[in-house]
Amino acid sequence: MKFLTSLLLLFVVVMVSAVNLSMAKESANQLTERLQELDGAAIQEPAELNRHKRLTCEIDRSLCLLHCRLKGYLRAYCSQQKVCRCVQ
């Protein structure tokens, strides 16, 4: 009788663990999706920084590239509005 009780208890523990693992994987997938959404979201920058970017493009385009390289980006360009844009 003890053997059957132990076996039943072990079965319950394994099933609960499997359910918890499944829920953890689902939560991890949801978190990954949310992080990808946030990664793709546009980030608003302060007006002062935008003003600095415009001045960078109006003075010299190479300063825009230097600015972006220092931030870790590979390429840079100046938009029609003279705003420096950094691109991977």
Q: What pTM does this model have? A: 0.39
How much is the pLDDT for 5?
A: 80
- Above 70 in pLDDT, residue 7? yes
Residue the block writes with tokens 């003279």: 82
User: Are 51 and 84 contacting, i.e. CB atoms less than 8 angstroms apart?
Assistant: no
pLDDT in tens, 27-80: 777 777 776 666 655 555 555 555 555 656 777 778 888 888 888 889 888 888
How much is the pLDDT for 40?
A: 58
How much is the pLDDT for 19?
A: 65
Rg (the chain; Cα; Å): 27
- For 8, 20, 32, 41, the CA distances from 37, given in Å and listed in that order, are 44, 26, 9, 6
Sign of the dihedral defined by the CA atoms of residues 47, 49, 52, 56, in that order: negative
pLDDT in tens, 72-82: 889 888 888 88
Query: 78 Cβ partners below 8 Å, 6+ apart?
Result: 57, 61, 64, 84, 85
